[in-house]
Amino acid sequence: MVLTNHTSRTSHNDLRQEFTILSLSVSLSLSLSLSLSLSLPLSLSLSLSLSLSLSLSRSQGGGGDEVLVNMEAGMSIALGLALLGLVLILAVTIVRPLRALLDQRRWQRHLRALAARPAGQRFALITGGTDGIGFHLARHCASQGLDLYLTGRTSADCAAAAQQLKQLAPDVVIKTFAGDLSQRAVQDQLFVHLEDLALQNVQVAILNVGLSTSVPKPLSEHTEVEADAILAINARLSLQLARRLSVAWARTAGPRTKAVPRRVLILVASLAGVTGAPFCAVYGATKAFLLHLGASLRYELSTVAEVLVNAPGMIRAGNTMRWFSASRLAAPDVLTAEAAARGILCWVGTEAYPTTTSVLHWLTLKLLTALPTTLATALVGQQHQAVIQRLTTPPPS
């Protein structure tokens, strides 16, 4: 009778230990996976590998120190499997943007198919299309046979861009609109011009134009006019154009086939919108708006258009060059405007969200989304502070 009680207690103890091991392994694996923003399947696989390793090691042990040694071996096996999984994830993470960047033919075929529509019905609308990234986006669209509707700041900018693009593609129709799009009255004029064009004739829309301050600075130093201008161009203009496009495209939606691909809508956001952007608060907030707007439109317009949201990092264009030439940390991944344009278009046909412009920018995107928001924001803020300090420190005499 005493032996039976002892055996029963031993069995209960074993069950409790097994349950404790399983609970600890599951909680440890889930905590690790969630902290690294890993997928649920990977979380469960880590939990399973850890619990099995510990259980097997325990079942092979006789007791005392031998059990502890075997449990340590099981932990080593489980951690090794976890590290192998992380290496595989990193490899897959790098392969995806590499495949997109190297496969130039996919997006070129897509644009050529859209350009095969009748004359007058194959426009690419590109805001900010007369310089920087926008100009190179226009150049690629024109080279595939799409007619162009470009916006620019001045008539001189529009004329110069149109002349260069005509030399590249003489048969392409180019229409332009010049004006300060931070002004609501000018935006309304643009909308009237686009009604004359008929937005159902737009096959590709790239909402690229953006505005930022000339140097990073805290919100307290933004003037009301300055903040309103950033909001007007980066958020309101893109919102109103996307709304008008969705109405026009829904009215003319036809059957989707390989020969007749869906239209393309690209919102150009920024890595500054992925997490908090201290000293770029207004700019970062407007780019976060575009990321969320694009996520919603991907679902709403899924039957009529492919919606992509690209979040570039640092580009050698506009204010960005002055900003980040002051930051040694940022120098290796600063792209040219031409490379950024290719990095935006290369995702056409992939259905990916969100996207960015290079492998380094892709890794930065993944890092910012994996880190806790407070930590990611602190890292961005420290970098921006370093930029401000270097820009405001007079050079040695």
pLDDT digits (tens, 9 = 90+) for 81-134: 666 666 666 666 666 667 777 777 888 899 999 999 998 899 999 999 999 999
Query: Are 208 and 289 in the same domain?
Result: yes
Q: What pLDDT is stored for residue 358 in this prediction? A: 83
- The residue range of the domain holding 341 is 111-392
Percentage of the chain lying above the pLDDT 90 cut: 46
Residue 233 shares a structural domain with residue 333 = yes
Establish if 133 belongs to a structural domain.
Answer: yes
- In the predicted model, residues of the chain with pLDDT beneath 50 are 1-3, 6, 30-41, 59-62, 64, 67, 327-330
> Do 124 and 167 sit in the same domain of this protein?
yes
What pLDDT score does 328 carry?
A: 47
Whether residue 4 is contained in a domain is answered as no
pLDDT at 172: 95
Tell me the torsion sign for CA atoms 314, 222, 219, 237. negative
Same domain, 80 and 213: no
Q: At 125, is the secondary structure helix, strand, or coil?
A: strand
Q: What single string gives the DSSP state of each residue in 308-368?
A: EEE----EESTHHHHHHTT-GGGGGGPEEHHHHHHHHHTTTTS--SSB-SSHHHHHHHHHH
CA distance 285 to 280: 8
Mean pLDDT of the chain: 79
pLDDT at res. 332: 53
Residue 309 sits at φ, ψ, to 5 deg, of -125, 115
Looking at the fold, whether 271 and 217 belong to one and the same domain comes out as yes
Number of domains in the chain: 2
201 and 329 belong to one structural domain = yes
Write the CATH number for 193: 3.40.50.720
142/59 same-domain check: no
Query: What local confidence, expressed as pLDDT, does residue 224 receive?
Result: 95
pLDDT tens sequence across 363-384: 888 888 888 888 888 888 888 8
Give a yes or no: residue 166 inside a domain: yes
The burial class, CB within 10 Å (0-12 / 13-18 / 19+), for 209 is buried
Would you state the pLDDT for residue 285?
96
Q: What is the CA radius of gyration of the chain?
A: 27
Residue ending a domain, among 100, 129, 144, is: 100
DSSP helix/strand/coil, 268? strand
Both 192 and 252 in a single domain?
A: yes
Same domain flag for 81 and 190 = no
Domain boundary residue among 100, 122, 137?
Answer: 100
> In the prediction, which pLDDT does 376 show?
87
pTM attached to this predicted model: 0.77
How many separate helices (H) and strands (E) can be counted in the chain? 14, 8
Burial of 323 (0-12, 13-18, 19+ CB in 10 A): buried
